[in-house]
Amino acid sequence: MTRGSAARKVTYLLEPKNWIVVTVLAIGWHSGGIRGLGWGLVAALFAGAAPTLFINRGIRRGNWSDRNVGDKRSRLTVLGFIVASVATGLTLLAVGGAPRELTGCFAFMLVSVAVLAAITTVWKISIHCAVASGSVTILALTFGPPVTSAYALVALTAWSRVELRQHTTAQVVAGSLFGALAALACYPLIRLSRTGVLACSFSRANPPGR
């Protein structure tokens, strides 16, 4: 296997969709058991499945050449769809009474994607690395230090993006730092939402303790 083919396989296996699906399912299970896992599947639909279908549809129509969506205008189109999809999912989670920790995590994802979209208008920051790093950080804070070993996968993702010439070293480093720091900053708010001290405004109509 050549370096190029290995990098393509790494990029495919560790693409943002896969990190997001694993993260929302894990947080859903942690926050609400089987019921939370069900809500995690709902979150995965809006944050993972729907964007993937949108990207694949764009490839079939010739709007972009592959799943990496390298062109800036096309990336912004995809990011705009993802923001709308995640916002729709967040509304459903909040109104439907999903576990608050999962709802808080999903709100963090929405804000992060919006900020990444804003950065992308002027610079091609690595979204692959941002999502990977943010996911590992959230999962490590939730499940404990052993999860930090998964940062090796973040480094592997960064290598693949540079090897494929999709990003510069600065762009993958910036993406990795953004994801980790954003997760560290937002995690206390996610924990507060779990305890009920802070909850999404949509959740105020839900009975306490849901």
Among the ranges given (149-158, 170-179, 188-197), the one the predictor scored with the smallest mean pLDDT = 188-197
pLDDT at position 196, please?
55
Q: Is the pLDDT of residue 198 over 70?
A: no
Report d(CA 132, CA 148) in Å as an integer.
12
Residue 190's pLDDT is what?
A: 80
* Banded pLDDT at 200 (limits 50, 70, 90): very low
Instruction: Extract the tokens encoding 97.
Output: 């009474």
pLDDT of residue 3: 92
Query: Residue 174: is its pLDDT beyond 90?
Result: yes
Q: What is the pTM of this model?
A: 0.86
What are the residue ranges spanned by the domains of the chain?
3-201
Q: What angle do CA 41, 42, 48 make, to 5 degrees?
A: 75
Other CB atoms within 10 Å distance of the CB of residue 24: 30
Let me know: does 99 contact 107? Beta carbons within 8 Å. Answer: no
Q: Which two tokens stand for residue 200?
A: 């999404």
The answer to whether residues 164 and 97 touch, using CB atoms and an 8 Å cutoff, is: no
Chain-wide mean pLDDT for the chain?
90
126 pLDDT exceeds 90? yes
Q: At 130, is the pLDDT very low, low, confident or very high (cuts 50, 70, 90)?
A: very high
Query: In angstroms, what is the C-alpha Rg of the chain?
Result: 17
What pLDDT shows up at residue 67? Answer: 79
Alpha-carbon gap, residue 88 to 83, rounded angstroms: 9
Q: To the nearest 10°, the Cα dihedral for 72, 76, 77, 82?
A: 140
- Taking 70 as the threshold, does the pLDDT of residue 14 lie above it? yes
Percentage of residues in the chain with pLDDT exceeding 90?
79
Q: Which residues contact 78 (CB under 8 A, 6 or more apart)?
A: 51, 54, 55, 58, 64, 69
| pLDDT over threshold 50, residue 209 | no
Average pLDDT over residues 27-55: 95
